[in-house]
Amino acid sequence: MSTPEQNLFTSGSVNLDAGAAIDKAANAAADGAAQDLPTQKQAEALAALWQALEEKPYEYDLFALLRRIESLHPHLPRLGRAKRPSQEPLRLGQEPSSMFAPSTILRLDPPKRRGGRKLVIHSFGLFGPNGPLPLVLTEHARERAIHHGDRTLIEFADLFHHRLTLLFYRAWADAQSTVSLDRPGDEKFTRHAASTIAYGLAATRGRDAVPDHARLNHAGHLVRQTRNAEGLARILANFFRVPAAIEEFVGRWLPLPRDQRTRLNANRGAQLGVDAVAGAAVWDRQHRFRVRLGPMPRPAYDDLLPPGTSHRQLLDWVRSYIGIELDWDVRLVLRRIDVPQARLGGDTRLGWTTWLGPGAAERDRGDLVLDPERIRAERGEPAAVAA
């Protein structure tokens, strides 16, 4: 049985159906090919980009432009990795010129009958004052194109210009890890960056209310083995966009089990000055801290109350940063101009968003202190995952 390659040329004519079949097979097997088709928004952005490029090509940087074009074609392989011309959104070529060009990009040629648009550049090519060929060949190619309409030499050189320029861009893009983020379905930056903070495996991502990329944004704090109050305050202030501070060594009463309380005639725990304890609890200041958030506007304040999204995110942020060794609570401070007057009905929540008193508040109110871990346990929510 003959193959599509063998049937491509029959009796000197091109078998277009066989060629299309080869294109389709190559597209499916191309390295780095994405799965998602362009959205309507991406198609509109691409059309606007082509129009702007035709009007003012000199305003664009070559690599930035190629990066933008690559991101708007998620259904095609990344630039520099395509195996057939049909898998590439444009062609690249160099204009033969002896001048030192003021910009990298010269123009964008409209699509031809059997081809896409062509981006003509000044830099990175065989021609010109910085090219490897003698200047006489640059002048010859330009003279043939201008005076004789013969672009044979230019088109031949562009076969190499196109491929080498895309490979040059690919080398640059692969060295810039963040470039891969332009195509979420085909990116590696997240895994590489997340591996530094023990979130590299897919099973460790998306497991709580904190967005994965928000956690990567603070990898500098999370990667350290020593976790301090300044790091937690910076993370919370940046994420919630409100002032944040940490109050350390917050005191609390720890209840003693009945069998460990001091009793008369006991065999242990009753020696004065050694292990005798008066009462049913002891005062502890070593294992608890308090997060202070605010002053903040009313919408941010309400979202930090249970069951708001920010409330769960706060719990997950603190747990992923400090683990389970320490206890904590949070004081929410509502700015003065947003303190509501007490009234029945509406969105009033007794004990949380209610303050008694005539007239407007004279100061920021930070009366509310919440224990998110206790609230989570009372609501029966799953425990936060510690890093």
Whole-number Cα distances in Å, 317 to 21, 84, 249, 297: 52, 47, 20, 21
User: Are 121 and 106 a contacting pair, CB within 8 Å?
Assistant: yes
Q: What is the pLDDT of residue 268?
A: 67
- As given in the structure block, the two tokens for residue 13 are 């004519």
Spell out the domain ranges in the chain: 31-185, 199-262+277-379
Element (H, E) at 235: helix 229-240
What per-residue confidence (pLDDT) applies to 33? 42
DSSP string, 155-193: HHHHHHHHHHHHHHHHHHHHH-GGGGGGSGGG--HHHHH
- Would you say the C-alpha torsion 332, 338, 342, 346 has a positive or negative sign? negative
Residue 4: CB partners within 8 Å, gap ≥ 6? 18, 19, 21, 22, 25
**pLDDT at residue 380, rounded to an integer:** 77
Q: Strands of 248-299 (E only): list them.
A: 252-255, 281-284, 288-296
- pLDDT per residue as tens digits for the range 157-188: 999 999 999 999 999 999 988 898 888 877 88
Cα separation, 37 vs 27, in Å, equals 13
Q: What is the pLDDT, as a whole number, of residue 178? A: 87
Q: What confidence score (pLDDT) does residue 102 get?
A: 87
Q: What are the residue ranges of helices labelled H in 39-131?
A: 40-55, 62-71
Q: Which pTM was predicted?
A: 0.68
DSSP-derived secondary structure for 179-232: GGGGSGGG--HHHHHHHTTT--SGGGSS-SSS-HHHHHHTHHHHT-SS--HHHH
Give CA–CA dist 160/163, Å, rounded: 5
**Which portions of the chain are predicted below pLDDT 70?**
1-36, 113-115, 266-269, 359-360, 382-387
pLDDT tens figures, 326-340: 999 999 999 999 888
CA distances from 119 to 91, 153, 243 (A): 6, 17, 49
Coil, helix or strand for 296?
A: strand
For residue 105, the surrounding DSSP H or E stretch is strand 105-109
Spell out a b/e string for 198-216, using b for 16 or more CB atoms within 10 Å of the CB, else e: ebeeeeebeebebebeebb
Q: Assign 38 to helix, strand or coil.
A: coil
Query: Quick check: helix, strand or coil at residue 353?
Result: coil
Contact 69, 8 (CB under 8 A): no
**How do strand 13-14 and strand 9-10 relate by DSSP bridges?**
antiparallel
Question: Residue 302 CB: number of other CB atoms within 10 A?
Answer: 19
Which among 16, 174, 169 has a CA at the least distance from the CA of 89? 169
